[in-house]
């Protein structure tokens, strides 16, 4: 199956362009969120290098950001680039649980592979990669059982429909969790 970021741009635009005045844009080096700067303009979710996975990750952040945060550049979040020390990495991993959980679900819904990322290759590495993986999995399972933020849920359902994964999503999710969590003793999640 072909996974073209232009499909994500189209799907996102159909869902959110008018009601949320937000568009998804292919970028170059760094992903970024730019709020609308003038009446009638659009906020931009810019994803890196035109990569499909980067688009899903940046959409995940947008789906979590509340109304006020969507008025701030990069949602007003602190970000320390690759090369973080242990304390910075611990804060990064804590902040990335929810977005990576949504990204994983979006990836599964679109039939693409998700890769958990601690994003600190030139720093001290992961603070606790196994705990981070378990936390991301637990958050994804929580979203499946209790529901996602509204925009995330809408995008998730749209991806399942567009990529045809809706009817057998339970099986898709089981395979994905076994692939990324082979030593996990948690029970497979059943979702509707």
Collect all residues with Cβ–Cβ distance below 8 Å to 10 and sequence separation of at least 6: none
Answer positive or negative: Cα dihedral of 71, 72, 75, 76: negative
CA distance 77 to 73: 8
**pLDDT for the residue 188:** 45
What does the pLDDT look like over 60-112, one tens digit per residue? 999 999 999 999 999 987 665 656 567 776 777 788 899 999 999 999 999 99
Collect all residues with Cβ–Cβ distance below 8 Å to 41 and sequence separation of at least 6: 21
- Find the mean pLDDT for residues 165-179: 89
**What's the farthest any 2 CA atoms get from each other in the chain?**
52
Distances (CA, A) of 156 to 7, 15, 67, 119: 14, 11, 20, 24
**pLDDT for the residue 163:** 96
- Find the mean pLDDT for residues 18-35: 94
Q: Say yes or no to pLDDT of 121 above 70.
A: no
**pLDDT for the residue 123:** 41
Q: Say yes or no to pLDDT of 116 above 90.
A: no
The model's pTM: 0.87
Name the residue among 122, 1, 120, 117 with its Cα closest to residue 56: 117
**pLDDT for the residue 159:** 98
What does the pLDDT look like over 32-65, one tens digit per residue? 999 999 888 999 999 999 999 999 999 999 999 9
Distances (CA, A) of 75 to 65, 69, 117: 7, 5, 20
**pLDDT for the residue 164:** 95
Dihedrals phi, psi of 29, to nearest 5 degrees? -65, -70
Q: Say yes or no to pLDDT of 30 above 90.
A: no
């Amino acid at each position: 199956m072909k996974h073209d970021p232009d499909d994500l741009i189209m799907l996102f635009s159909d869902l959110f362009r008018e009601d949320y005045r937000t568009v998804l844009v292919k970028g170059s080096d760094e992903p970024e969120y730019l709020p609308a700067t003038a009446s009638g303009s659009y906020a931009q979710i810019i994803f890196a290098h035109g990569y499909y996975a980067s688009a899903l990750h940046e959409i995940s952040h947008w789906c979590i950001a509340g109304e006020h945060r969507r008025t701030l550049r990069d949602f007003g979040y602190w970000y320390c680039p690759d090369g973080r020390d242990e304390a910075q990495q611990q804060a990064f991993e804590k902040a990335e649980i929810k977005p990576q959980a949504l990204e994983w679900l979006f990836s599964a819904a679109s039939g693409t592979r998700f890769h958990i990322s601690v994003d600190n290759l030139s720093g001290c590495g992961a603070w606790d990669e196994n705990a981070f993986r378990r936390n991301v999995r637990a958050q994804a399972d929580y979203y499946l059982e209790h529901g996602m933020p509204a925009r995330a849920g809408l995008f998730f359902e749209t991806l399942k429909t567009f990529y045809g994964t809706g009817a057998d999503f339970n099986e898709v999710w089981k395979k994905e969790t076994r692939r990324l969590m082979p030593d996990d003793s948690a029970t497979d999640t059943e979702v509707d």
